[in-house]
């Protein structure tokens, strides 16, 4: 659970000290607070002064309205575990809450209802029972999440009251509220085991499926809760009285890739090729690779006469698995894939070139490395990164120095890609070349990548290189080098053990003398202790 920020802690300290600004502070906490903040606001909702009480109730409701349903479950578990000794001074009014206080608490609006709902999370079973009895009398629908959570209460009477309250709400005007709490219903099905809720859940699902509730189901397509949206699309696509095209249109404009994916899976299982044909061109251009892969498979399985063109186009897909899939199904066509990708290196559109470069790496031969090397100096970052990848696939061992020079690019992703390729290949004899680069006026990202490579050289030699880096000009690089040294020292005798040779010991000792003033006393002493071991 996310802890309070320093700003929230400062406001709470002021809240307990000041009488003049209490309302203002409560409004500020309402805007920024999370679950922990909400917990410490509960005593203020029991204040006798109306102005403070209303501000606290409004703040609690505002925070509650931001929480996801899964967060409400976490809040219930957190509050129930608060003992009378938990933050006793701040939460005394909450710990001392009595059932009579709940019964006397008037519910005029949603803020009051949210507070009573949270009271149903109280550690005291009598307080929870009184809160459920109060919620049972409410008819706004906002009480439903609290009732569903209490269905798993360890007190049988509270479970029964919550169950009774939910059953009374099996009416058309409550369907949308049950739908909004679909995560809690799924949680009830998967994890609640004090009672069997099979019949209860079947009744709710029957409500969702009932033809009279189609408008509620469609409204779920635009819900802010992704769990609700996914449930509604999954249910609607399988209902016989809803036009599948209507659901497909709505699903394919969703930003949620899982909704698009589950809809496309359903389409691909159907035998209606005409409908599939209408949508496949659009689906195979989706930004989510698994969806494009499903579309390609659908061409192969359902529309083989149109599959070749789709497979040829997929040879230039940006995702490796789709390119591999296309090559697998096209292998009977006897296409020279390497030649196909080589042709695309010249005269193709700029967005095609990086895919063609990687394609050469995947299908080409060692000699193709000469076609790739010039692209390491290209201005386009994607092309640089693709060239690094392709060269690593074709002939990495002959181009270690080329990779090291490529680290200097001002394109961060290309430099990072190069670092990953060098990580398992860099050796001590490359250190001088790397050190020359770290002393040049290159980007900080380059120097950080070089530090990483220093850490990947064998342990006995890397420590002297990392110590040496603790005196570079840039403070950010010095600080990172010190962190690497600390990590090395922490790992010694835990993750690795080594016996230093005399020349290595002398080199570390000499380097320590040069950089000691930049190191903390603890680090310097640890290095000296390492040198003292024989």
Domain ranges of the chain: 458-533
Instruction: Select from 260, 264, 273 the least CA-distant residue to 294.
Output: 264
> Residues 333-354: what's their mean pLDDT?
91
Phi-psi region of 234 (alpha: psi -120 to 50; beta: other; left: phi over 0): alpha
- In 373-502 the beta strands, taken as DSSP E runs, fall at none
pTM of the model: 0.79
474 token code pair? 């840039």
The C-alpha atoms of residue 204 and residue 221 are separated, in whole angstroms, by 19
369 token code pair? 């490395």
pLDDT of 184-214, one tens digit each? 999 988 887 777 888 899 999 999 999 999 9
Handedness of CA 281, 282, 287, 290 (dihedral sign): negative
pLDDT at 348: 80
Q: What are the CA-CA distances from residue 501 to residues 265, 469, 506, 507, 528 (Å)?
A: 62, 22, 9, 10, 15
Percent with pLDDT over 70 in the chain:
99
Burial of residue 454 (CB within 10 Å: 0-12, 13-18, 19+) is buried
pLDDT at 5: 86
The C-alpha atoms of residue 93 and residue 78 are separated, in whole angstroms, by 17
The C-alpha atoms of residue 356 and residue 300 are separated, in whole angstroms, by 24
Whether residue 219 has pLDDT greater than 70: yes
Contacts for 266-270 with beta carbons within 8 Å, 24 or more apart? 266/237, 266/238, 267/298, 268/294, 268/297, 268/298, 268/301, 268/302
Burial of residue 342 (CB within 10 Å: 0-12, 13-18, 19+) is middle
> Residues 290-306: what's their mean pLDDT?
93
Q: Would you call 493 helix, strand, or coil by DSSP?
A: coil
pLDDT at 192: 77
**Band of residue 509 on the pLDDT scale cut at 50, 70, 90:** very high
pLDDT at 377: 87
Between 89 and 239, the more confident residue is: 239
Q: What is the gyration radius of the CA atoms in the chain, in angstroms?
A: 32
Say if CB 204 and CB 172 are below 8 A apart: no
* Tally of CB atoms within 10 A around 38: 24
Whether residue 56 has pLDDT greater than 90: yes
pLDDT at 2: 72
**Band of residue 85 on the pLDDT scale cut at 50, 70, 90:** confident
The C-alpha atoms of residue 112 and residue 120 are separated, in whole angstroms, by 13
233 token code pair? 């699309």
- Three-state SS letters, 21-42: CHHHHHHHHHHHCCHHHHHHHH
Instruction: Select from 447, 448, 453 the least CA-distant residue to 421.
Output: 453
Tell how far CA 272 is from the center of its chain: 37
pLDDT of 120-176, one tens digit each? 999 999 999 999 999 999 999 999 999 999 998 999 999 999 999 999 999 999 999
pLDDT at 502: 87
pLDDT at 271: 62
Helices 257-269 and 226-236: crossing angle, nearest 10°?
10
**Band of residue 1 on the pLDDT scale cut at 50, 70, 90:** low
93 token code pair? 């009014």
pLDDT of 439-449, one tens digit each? 888 899 999 99
pLDDT at 35: 87
* Tally of CB atoms within 10 A around 278: 12
The C-alpha atoms of residue 206 and residue 178 are separated, in whole angstroms, by 12
Burial of residue 347 (CB within 10 Å: 0-12, 13-18, 19+) is exposed
């Amino acid at each position: 659970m996310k802890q309070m920020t320093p700003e929230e802690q400062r406001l709470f300290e002021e809240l307990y000290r000041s009488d003049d600004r209490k309302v203002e502070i409560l409004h500020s906490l309402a805007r920024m607070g999370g679950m922990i903040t909400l917990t410490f606001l509960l005593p203020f909702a029991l204040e006798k002064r109306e102005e403070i009480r209303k501000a606290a109730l409004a703040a609690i409701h505002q925070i509650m309205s931001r929480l996801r349903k899964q967060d409400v479950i976490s809040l219930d578990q957190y509050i129930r575990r608060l003992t009378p000794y938990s933050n006793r001074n701040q939460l005394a009014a909450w710990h001392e809450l009595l059932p009579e206080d709940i019964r006397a608490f008037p519910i005029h609006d949603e803020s009051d209802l949210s507070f009573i709902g949270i009271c149903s999370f109280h550690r005291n079973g009598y307080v929870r029972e009184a809160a459920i009895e109060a919620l049972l009398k409410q008819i706004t629908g906002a009480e439903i999440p609290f009732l569903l959570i209490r269905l798993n209460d360890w007190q049988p009477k509270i479970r029964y009251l919550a169950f009774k309250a939910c059953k009374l709400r099996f009416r058309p005007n409550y369907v949308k509220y049950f739908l909004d709490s679909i995560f809690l219903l799924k949680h009830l099905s998967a994890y609640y085991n004090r009672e069997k809720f099979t019949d209860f859940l079947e009744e709710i699902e029957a409500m969702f499926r009932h033809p009279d509730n189609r408008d509620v189901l469609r409204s779920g397509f635009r819900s802010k809760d992704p769990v609700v949206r996914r449930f509604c699309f999954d249910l609607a696509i399988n209902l016989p009285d809803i036009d599948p095209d209507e659901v497909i249109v709505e699903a394919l404009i969703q930003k949620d890739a899982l909704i698009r994916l589950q809809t496309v899976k359903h389409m691909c299982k159907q035998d209606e090729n005409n409908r599939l044909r209408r949508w496949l061109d659009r689906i195979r251009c989706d930004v989510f690779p698994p969806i494009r892969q499903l579309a390609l498979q659908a061409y192969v399985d359902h529309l083989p006469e149109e599959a070749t063109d789709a497979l040829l186009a997929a040879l230039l897909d940006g995702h490796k698995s789709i390119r591999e899939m296309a090559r697998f199904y096209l292998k009977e066509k006897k296409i020279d894939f390497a030649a196909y990708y080589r042709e695309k290196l010249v005269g193709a559109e700029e967005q095609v070139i990086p895919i063609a470069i990687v394609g050469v790496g995947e299908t080409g031969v060692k000699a193709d490395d000469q076609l790739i090397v010039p692209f390491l100096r290209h201005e386009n970052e994607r092309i640089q990164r693709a060239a690094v990848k392709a060269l690593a696939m074709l002939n990495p061992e002959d181009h270690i120095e080329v990779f090291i020079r490529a680290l200097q690019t001002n394109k961060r992703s290309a430099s990072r890609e190069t670092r990953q390729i060098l990580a398992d290949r860099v050796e001590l004899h490359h250190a001088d070349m790397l050190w020359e680069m770290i002393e040049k006026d290159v980007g900080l990202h380059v120097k950080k990548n070089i530090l990483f490579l220093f850490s990947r050289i064998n342990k006995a030699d890397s420590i002297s290189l990392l110590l040496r880096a603790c005196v570079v000009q840039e403070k950010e690089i010095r600080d990172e080098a010190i962190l690497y040294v600390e990590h090395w020292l922490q790992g010694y005798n835990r993750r690795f053990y080594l016996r230093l040779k005399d020349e290595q010991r002398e080199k570390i000792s000499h380097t320590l003398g040069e950089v000691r003033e930049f190191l903390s006393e603890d680090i310097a002493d640890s290095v000296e202790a390492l040198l003292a071991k024989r």
